[in-house]
Amino acid sequence: MQRRHFLLAATTIGAAGLALGNLPQAQTLATGASAGALPMNDGKHPRYRPRHRYGYGGAIALGNMRRAISNAQAQQLLSAAWEAGIRYYDTSPWYGLGLSERRTGYFLADAERAHYVLSSKSGRLLRADPGFSHKDWQNAVGFRYEYDYSAAATRRSVEDSLQRLGVSSLDLVFIHDLSPDNEDLGDGWREHFEVAVKGAMPELVKMREEGLIKGWGMGVNTLEPTLGAIEASDPDVILQACQYSLLQHADAVERLLPVCRQRDVSLVIGAPLNSGYLAGNDYFNYSKQIPAGMAEKRQRAQALAREHGTDLRTAALHFCNAPDVVAAIIPGGSTAEQIRQNVASMSTPVPAAFWQAAKQQELIHPDAPVPTQA
């Protein structure tokens, strides 16, 4: 199949329902800070890796996960990210049932496509349904979703995302939420996984060959589908969320990192702050149900960070960025100040003594990679 080209003006995004007003994003995109202050990949990896090692996750704020924000407020968040030097944006049809993609596409409409990295997801098709709403997304109505991991649906999903985003290609596509923790799928996830092995995965390989995408992988919160995809197919980059953080990483260190090294598969770390828990909020991995012992572990880590002249957010972000198999980390940020604080942490080294003490106190796995800077 020949590669399709989608030549869309910014007005296409506006027609999707964004009443944004006269926002100066064109000026922002022209005058924002250089991305050079944030970590970059060297381009020497044998497979595709996004060149930017730090991105912005578009689920919570842009998808109205915890609270509804206006389209103008969403544009202000994206402006803050761009001005801070962020050039990698991750989104999904699932986030706000298309809302996050439309908001991201509107913001990036005036940027040259080569100047940023963009990833989205497949696995859920959106269907127009004016009466539908979902508990996860505040004020996001008008579309229902259905799961389909077949080849045809994957092609349709990617093309729909291109339309919502207003671009002609994506850098990365992740097969989304094909995982046992997905309450919609439950134990049936394995049946869907077999569909994806025969459908979505070879179709994404084909899209990669066509140049419609640069790479693909899984976008999941557990390890089993990740390891299964690496065994069954040829992924480039896995978006692994909720499995590699300062507080929770032992299983990934022992089972995931070695396989990624062996197969030259890279990781994008989602929820590096456990969806804000390591920055001080009351959510852990998108839930207010905090696992037993986690509050005590966070308190110990906070005290150790203070003792060594740093803070827990800074240590957590550097920890997730340290492994050689990590291509990028993509924290979110529901306010401009949170975005700026996260970015500032990336240019603030964590003392080597902190990592030594953290291992001695068994706060982090003895084999977990840590930053090498003093």
Per-residue pLDDT of the chain (374 residues; tens, 9 = 90+): 443 443 333 334 443 445 444 444 655 676 566 666 899 999 999 999 999 999 999 999 999 998 999 999 999 999 999 999 999 999 999 999 999 999 999 999 999 999 999 999 999 999 999 999 999 999 988 999 999 999 999 999 999 999 999 999 999 999 999 999 999 999 999 999 999 999 999 999 999 999 999 999 999 999 999 999 999 999 999 999 999 999 999 999 999 999 999 999 999 999 999 989 999 988 999 888 999 999 999 999 999 999 999 999 999 999 999 999 999 999 999 999 999 999 999 999 999 999 999 999 999 999 999 998 54
Phi, then psi, of 192 in degrees rounded to 5: -65, -35
Cβ pair 319, 354 in contact under 8 A: no
SS3 364: coil
Catalytic residue list? 95
The pTM of the full predicted model, rounded to 2 decimals, is: 0.92
The encoded tokens of residue 324 equal 């050689």
* CATH number, domain 28-360, options 3.20.20.100, 3.40.630.30, 3.40.630.40, 3.30.450.40: 3.20.20.100
The domains of the chain are located at 28-360
DSSP secondary structure code for residue 189 in this structure:
H
Across the strands, what pairs with 160?
none
Instruction: Quote the CA–CA distance of 301 and 287 in Å, as a whole number.
Output: 21
User: Under DSSP, is residue 241 helix (H, G, I), strand (E, B) or coil?
Assistant: strand
Say if CB 268 and CB 239 are below 8 A apart.
yes
- Residues with Cβ within 8 Å of 223's Cβ and at least 6 positions away in sequence, in order, are 240, 243, 251, 252, 255, 256
Return the amino acid letter for 123: G
Whether residue 175 contacts residue 149, with contact meaning beta carbons closer than 8 Å, is answered with yes
